[in-house]
Amino acid sequence: MTLADYMAACLMHPQHGYYSTRDPLGAGGDFTTAPEISQMFGELLGLSLAQSWLDQGAPAPFVLAELGPGRGTLMADILRATARVPGFHAAARLHLVETSPALRAEQAKRLPQATWHDVVQTLPDGPLFLVANEFFDALPIRQFQRAGEDWRERVVGLHDNRLKLGLAAPAPQPGLSHRLDDTQDGDIVETCAPGQAIAAVLGARIAAQGGVALLIDYGDWRSLGDTLQALKGHAHIDPIALPGTSDLTTHVDFEALARAAAPATHTLLTPQGVFLERLGITQRAQALARSLSDAALDSHIAAHRRLTHPDEMGSLFKTLALLPQGAPPPPGLEIRPLS
């Protein structure tokens, strides 16, 4: 089977899928996301979204949405930070895209006013102000290894009653013709058709009806190399060793998302640390620190470092926004100047 089929079965199988059967977040889970590290992350994202809403004329009503909301922590922080933005809460209609029953139950504890969706296509019409943090990294990908002018797909199969990675026969891949210019024999390129399809829906929607999508994930502008990884108990394991029991992720190809989102435009890809510093995370951290001491203060300082430092999440994680042509970029992000 393709890696995409393998990932989809491991993560979303109704009875045995990783996301279908558990809450994977936090110290007792397998990984920790930025909203669980510090409230500052969601606060600053919320204020950036709210400013974009104001910059686009404060439309009312509007759809406030999140893809893959985890426990609902990020959106709860967004709502708290934007409570004093005049008219924002009155105009917002909260919608969450989540397929995991276990995580929906967690989200409902913090966001009982939300409406849930299985897919982005069913979000209601209207200006869309959306955030997706560590969402695209968990979508199924395919991997192709260059072989001359053709490509060999990496696949999962059985060998001696054990799952093994192998290579299919060389074949043309018209969708990768543009990658023949920047790859060599043996190089691996990853593609994510589900991610591009979602980006296309978001881009068409935002271009036609207004809004902005803030996408935060780990990855880079263009895919190169094998980035498939599995996390279990906050440690890396073999991605095909324990199917259905570990979190499978890959680095996001932001260029592919940006291209798929046309006719919406996009901002420059910006490291998470730079984005948060532009939004004032250090000043916010200093303000919160005044009421802390001892272990709580140490934890707070460590959280700030983890979110922003280049050796932590600051450089690995990136931020990209999708927005209508001609609209101002969200605070913290830039649009490439016209030449």
pLDDT (tens digit, 9 = 90+) per residue, 3-57?
A: 999 999 998 767 667 876 656 554 455 567 999 999 999 999 999 999 999 999 9
Distance (Å, whole) CA 264 – CA 39? 30
pLDDT (tens digit, 9 = 90+) per residue, 265-298?
A: 999 999 999 999 999 999 999 999 999 999 999 9
Kindly state the average pLDDT of the residues 295-314.
96
**What is the chain's mean pLDDT, rounded?**
93
Output the pTM of the full model. Answer: 0.93
241: Cβ contacts below 8 Å, ≥ 6 apart: 163, 230
Kindly state the average pLDDT of the residues 174-188.
95
Which amino acid is located at 167 in the chain? L
Within 13 Å and on the Cβ side, how many CA atoms surround 4? 12
172: Cβ contacts below 8 Å, ≥ 6 apart: 149, 150, 151
pLDDT at 159: 80
Cα torsion angle, 188, 32, 128, 194, sign: positive
pLDDT at 19: 77
Rg for the chain, CA atoms, rounded: 20
Q: Model confidence at 339, in pLDDT bands (50, 70, 90)?
A: very low
pLDDT (tens digit, 9 = 90+) per residue, 116-143?
A: 999 999 999 999 999 999 999 999 999 9
Kindly state the average pLDDT of the residues 88-111.
95
The yes-or-no verdict on residue 77 having pLDDT over 80 is yes
Q: Model confidence at 240, in pLDDT bands (50, 70, 90)?
A: confident
Kindly state the average pLDDT of the residues 315-332.
97
pLDDT at 241: 82
Nearest residue to 322 via CA among 209, 220, 239, 245:
209
323: Cβ contacts below 8 Å, ≥ 6 apart: 52, 206, 211, 212, 213, 264, 265, 266, 267, 329, 330
The yes-or-no verdict on residue 92 having pLDDT over 50 is yes
Between these two residues, 339 and 306, which has the higher pLDDT value?
Answer: 306
pLDDT at 71: 94
Return the minimum-mean-pLDDT range out of 33-37, 72-76, 106-110, 148-152: 33-37
Question: How many CB atoms sit inside 10 A of residue 56's CB?
Answer: 18
Distance (Å, whole) CA 266 – CA 275? 15
The yes-or-no verdict on residue 251 having pLDDT over 60 is yes
pLDDT at 194: 97
- Measure Cα distances from 230 to 59, 147, 220 in Å: 42, 27, 19
Which amino acid is located at 317 in the chain? F
pLDDT at 112: 97
Kindly state the average pLDDT of the residues 149-155.
97
pLDDT at 205: 98
User: Cβ(145)–Cβ(187) under 8 Å?
Assistant: yes
Cα torsion angle, 75, 79, 80, 85, sign: positive
Residue 211 falls in which region: left (phi positive, over 0), alpha (psi -120 to 50) or beta:
left
Full 3-state SS string of the chain: CEHHHHHHHHHHCCCCCHHHHCCCECCCCCECCHHHHCHHHHHHHHHHHHHHHHHCCCCCCEEEEEECCCCCHHHHHHHHHCCCCCCHHHHEEEEEECCCHHHHHHHHHHCCCCEEECCHHHCCCCCEEEEEECCHHHCCCEEEEEECCEEEEEEEEEECCEEEEEECCCECCHHHHHHHHCCCCCCEEEECHHHHHHHHHHHHHHHHHCEEEEEEEEEECCCCCCCCEEEECCEEECCCCCCCCCEEECCEEHHHHHHHCCCCEECCCEEHHHHHHHCCHHHHHHHHHCCCCHHHHHHHHHHHHHHHCCCCHHHHEEEEEEECCCCCCCCCCCCCCCC
